[in-house]
Amino acid sequence: MYEHFGEGYAESFAQDHVMAELGHRTVRQALDAGWEAKDVWRAVCQTQGVSAQLR
């Protein structure tokens, strides 16, 4: 996430951005709820236009 969003925004995004793809959770909430990091990252990639080289 740091490479795509930058260090400062990545933290903000993970804490504040609620995603329907994560069950209406933030990245942090999804990880705390036991979601696999790779599944969370896939959801972020799909919704935020992460380049193929960063996937």
pLDDT in tens, 8-54: 899 999 999 999 999 999 999 999 999 999 999 999 998 988 777 77
The model carries a pTM of 0.84
What's the pLDDT score for residue 52? Answer: 73
DSSP string for residues in 12-46: HHHHH--BGGGTSB-HHHHHHTT--HHHHHHHHHH
Q: Is the dihedral of CA 7, 41, 30, 17 positive or negative?
A: positive
Does pLDDT of 5 surpass 90? no
